[in-house]
Amino acid sequence: MYSKVVETTNFLKETTEYRPKVAIVLGSGLGNLVDFIDEKMEIDYSDIPNFPVSTVAGHDGKLVFGKIGGIEVVAMKGRFHFYEGYEMKEVTYPMYVMKQFGIEKLIVSNAAGGSNKTYDPGTLMLITDHINAFGTNPLIGKNDDRFGPRFPDMTEAYKIYLRDLAKEVADNLGIAYKEGVYLGTTGPTYETGAEVRAFTGMGADAIGMSTVPEVTIANYLGIDVLGISCITNMATGIAEKAHSHEDVVDVAKKAGENFCNWVINIVKKIG
């Protein structure tokens, strides 16, 4: 694994002159942020050695290098999911590459179902913590100390200083947001009503099929994380109609203006 990560990283360093410290993972329907990246350079996942390829609608499958407000960034326009049949090491492989490439801060986003009844579709939620309901962990197996410790700490999975910075930016821009706990499941089915009631009882405010593996590995590697969920639908038992991926992407795109404005100004503040 280590040699593969080094090979991928060397390819990227030879392909682009950009050396960003900030990375962004764009969830379903949130890829429009790349329209606000200046001096773009795009690399298809299929052209990157050892990289998986996105297979889900709303995930274009590109690494986008460029600048936001003069700050160098790299954005993942499309991510990988456990339900696509990838192993957890494959799902989280880009995080290992990001660290090797020099990334220090990660902004991760997702589309999620709202299990908190005070939320509405289109709500942006600042993730305060997460619950792993995948039934597995991306760090299971032999540990490579060159990456990180055998038993990484998850006390502050989503860094408080980054959350405080994000809240300050949102307040200054007049962007409404909630704060809550994200629960990650394998998918690809949407949750049953009984599962939603159970997850809500566990403390979940939003439920999705990503993010937890990536954030776990980012913490393991020593990358500081900020997370934002776009609530695209209300969870089963709360919603009044059946779910569809098309509706999820559509609502995410409609909430995209506030999301993009928020992330752009967070990046400027980080820089």
CATH architecture of 2-270: 3-Layer(aba) Sandwich (3.40)
User: Per-residue pLDDT averaged across 117-127, rounded?
Assistant: 92
Instruction: Render pLDDT for 17-27 as a digit per residue (tens, 0 to 9).
Output: 999 999 999 98
3-class DSSP assignment, residue 136: coil
Catalytic residue numbers, as ranges: 28, 59, 81, 83-84, 111, 209-210, 233, 245
Pairing mode, strands 71-77 and 62-68: antiparallel
Return mean pLDDT, the chain. Answer: 92
Lowest-confidence region among 122-131, 155-164, 242-251 = 242-251
Instruction: Render pLDDT for 31-51 as a digit per residue (tens, 0 to 9).
Output: 788 999 999 999 999 999 999
With b for 16 or more beta-carbon neighbours within 10 A and e for fewer, the 113-132 pattern comes to: bbbbeebebbbbbbbbbbbb
- 177 phi-psi bin (left φ>0, alpha ψ -120 to 50, beta other): beta
Query: Per-residue confidence at 236, pLDDT binned at 50, 70, 90?
Result: low
Structure-block tokens of residue 182 = 């994200």
With b for 16 or more beta-carbon neighbours within 10 A and e for fewer, the 242-270 pattern comes to: ebebebbbebbbebbebbbbbbbbbbeeb
Instruction: Render pLDDT for 63-73 as a digit per residue (tens, 0 to 9).
Output: 999 999 999 99
Bridge partners of 109, per DSSP, are 228
Instruction: Render pLDDT for 187-221 as a digit per residue (tens, 0 to 9).
Output: 999 899 999 999 999 999 999 999 999 999 999 99
Residue with tokens 């696509």: 84
Q: Residue 27: what pLDDT?
A: 84
Instruction: Render pLDDT for 77-110 as a digit per residue (tens, 0 to 9).
Output: 988 999 999 999 999 999 999 999 999 999 999 9
Residue with tokens 């990001």: 98
